[in-house]
Each structure stands twice: as structure tokens, then as C-alpha cells.
Amino acid sequence: MAKTYVRVDDRLIHGQTIVAWCPTLGIKEIIAIDDESAKNPVLKSIMTMGVPPAYKTHIVTTEEARVLLTKESKGNRLVIVRYPRVLPALEAEIADAEVIILGNLAKREDTIHKVKGATGIFYLSDSDVDLLDGLANQELEVCFQQLPSTTKTTWQTFKKSIKKI
């Protein structure tokens, strides 16, 4: 049976996705979920430009993703969302996900937390923290991991490194 992996990364599809994550997780289908990008043909073209044809790739709205994720997949899927706030709308569709992997999150207007010691950029709002806590409390594995070759940090451990800015 095919597995679903969820990644939170504000860059959506980028080089690390294709070169590191997809081969490591045995991905056959990439589903990038972002309402703004899905409605912009130029952004969609830029994001899919470097994706090899071996990966079935979708850049879709949240509603389109809900429909797509109810369909049977022939291979492992990587679901990528730009922000944690999208995850509650997909709760039923990602309930059986193997893991929710936190990646890159740039500073936004509502972010008041920065993760100390994290490589890359990682900022969270209070609502992001509450949301991720809720998912972890539902028995979903939530972790922080920049690349498959770097250390995976559980949400509970990762949460302790969050500092108000």
C-alpha cells in the first residue's frame, strides 16, 4: 500500500525536494498545496520546471487537494504545504500520513517564535504551535528535519527549542 508523507516547507517544490526527499521516501507523486500558486500558471511552471517526469506532480488548491487525496495512489506521495494553517483543512485526508515533516518557514507577519539552533529558517506563530501540538496529540508523528540526511527531531523536543522573538 502506498504511503503519504506530509512536509511543511514554504518553498514548496525545490531542489532538495527532488534530489533528497523524493528518492529517500520512494516518492512517485508530489502534491504541492497552495491556493495562490495553483491559480498562477507562471508559478506552477517555475515550480515544475525542474521536476523529472518520473514524478507525477500536482500544484493544487486546498479543495483540489482534498479530492486528489481521496483517490488511490499507485505509489508513495509527498504532500507539501506552504504553511501549517493548511493542515486542518486536510485533516481527514492526511490522518494516515506516515509523518508530518517540518522544513523551512520564513518569518511572517504573525510569527513570534524562532527556533534556536535550527539550520535554515524556521519561524512559528502561536497558532502554528497550537496546531502542531494538536496534530501530535492525535497520534500523528510530527518532527523537524531539514534533509533526510540530518537528524530528525520529535515535535516535543523541537518545541522546547522555540523562543519568542
Q: Which residues contact 75 (CB under 8 A, 6 or more apart)?
A: 2, 26, 27, 28, 29
> What's the domain count of the chain?
1
pLDDT of 65 reads 98
Of how many residues is the chain composed? 165
Please state, for a pLDDT cut of 70, what percent of the chain lies above it.
97
Q: Is 139 helix (H, G, I), strand (E, B) or coil?
A: coil
Domain CATH for 117: 3.40.35.10
Give the model's confidence band at 112: pLDDT under 50 very low, under 70 low, under 90 confident, else very high.
confident
Residues 63-86 have pLDDT tens digits of 999 999 999 999 999 999 999 999
Residue 124 structural domain: 4-164
**pLDDT digit string, tens, across residues 133-157:** 999 999 899 999 989 999 899 999 9
Instruction: Classify 102 as helix, strand or coil.
Output: strand
Backbone angles phi, psi at 31, to 5 degrees: -125, 105
Query: According to the model, what pLDDT value does residue 137 have?
Result: 93
Look over the chain and give the mean of its residue pLDDT values, rounded to a whole number.
92
